[in-house]
Structure 1
Amino acid sequence: MLPLFVRSIKFLVGLAFVGVLMWSLLWTVLAEAPTPTAEHEFHKHPKEVHFASDGPFGKFDQAQLQRGYKVYEEVCAACHSLSMVSFRELGMLGYNEAQVKNLAKKFDEKAKQPTYNPVTGDRAERSNLPSDRFPHIPYAGAGTPPDLSLMTKARHDGGAYVYSLLTGYTDQPAELLKKFPSAKTPDGLHYNPYFANLNLSMPPPLASDGQVTYDDGTPATVDQMAKDVSAFLIWSAEPHSQSRKQTGWAVLGFLLIASILAFGAYRSVWAGVKH
């Protein structure tokens, strides 16, 4: 009788131990469950947009890149630097040497190259040269706007993210304000559902059609300007990606031909050998 009683006690103790573990696990899961937030419910994934450079066979559209550079120069460069790109690399966009020199010189209006005299300790500035990288853009406001050189590499979905952000400014939806009254966009910020926390200090940079005048006559709608500058920033983040793709396909072609020749040689050498 006693052994049965002992076994019953052991079973109950084990059952209680398992129950405590299960309760602890459930409590942990419930405690770690994310609390619903406005950012979680109203943040949107980037829009679907196609760029000529997409995919393994994609190629940059030089006309679009030139339009995108014009948008950067006339709109984005008021605040954002492009410090990882040199002026001479603009030749890859289809500009000739004289045009590159003119573009570098024209950029003097926004920022020049800083110089330092190690003898006197004097600091000064000089004009931009094709061999220079884009200079740092001075900014008088609070904080420092991010450099755009690698923006499409630093953000998930790259060019689609930039395009969505530029075209995503809107009023806060009534549903958001009803469900999260404390999430009202603060004064001085701007609601954009494609930004991580929904509000950013940058006002809509592309506020209306015709902000720039394209040299090729393309209508400069907000949507077109956003696509063009996004394509340009895809290029600035990886300007040699097109040549790398071409080299990659050439290497794959060589390896395929070499494999076929090697297999043919193998069959020829071992053709008369009986297994």
Structure 2
Amino acid sequence: MKALKNVDLYVMLAPGILFFLVFSYFPMAWIFIAFQDFKIGQGIFGSAFVGFKHFAALFQDPYFYTILRNTVLISFYKLLFGFPVPIILALAMNEIRHRLALRFIQSVVYLPHFLSWAVVATLMISIFSFDTGILNDFLKLLGFEPIAFLSDSSSFRTMLVASDIWKGAGWGTILYLAALTGIDTHLYEAARIDGASKLRQMWHISLPGIQPTMTLLLILSMGSLINADFEQILLMYSPAVYGVADVIQTYVYRVGLGQLRLSYTTAVGLFQSVVSFLLVYSANRLARKMGGDSIW
């Protein structure tokens, strides 16, 4: 009878559970083809079992270490430079008292998060393209040589990180602002009475107040350390920057679908998933030991 009282909640929960069953748990059955010489015509039950053959080929391929390095470096740069941005924005916006100004700034900061990477990539190409980009057209008018922002190995990673921060900072800001609303306002009043400046209040009240949220997001970010944004890179990169931009997901896409090496690329994806899980698990254990805040 108690379960029937909450039937409306179960109905609301059902689409989310169905989504994960269809797109996350059901595809796990196909992990088995990483240990087969999978042939589409023979199917998963008719293909020959080869054990760890594809994993051995993976670790013997010199190019694999290139894409692994690219994946880790791009993800690490995004974490290093992108993680503090929403914290700083949330702390700054929390001090704005003019409602109209706050709403305008929120709209400007939040909007990029709701744009697809297809739209963002189109904007980036329109602005930074070597031949037709608005910025390079402006540089030509000033008498300067155009800059290959998106086709130069020395600048492409910077463009990836900058566009990711611009697009994703708004979502993190929402989370931190929500955490800031949970801090007792009497703490700020007591700090003001004691003569604490705004910076002191941020350092001793605001930051400790959102520390659990920071820990949670940092742990979740560790799982993406070996999982660079596939859609962003696929839409923005070119063969000219494969050496610094080709990551595990784009490699799987090109080799798996382009060359139909399905078993090999499944082995690559399984390796990536296992490492991501170990990173999240390790980060969670470390956070629990150091401060007590963790996901589980």
Q: TM-score, normalised by structure 1?
A: 0.22
More helix per residue? 2
Q: TM-score, normalised by structure 2?
A: 0.21
Higher relative contact order (CA 8 A, sep 6+): 2
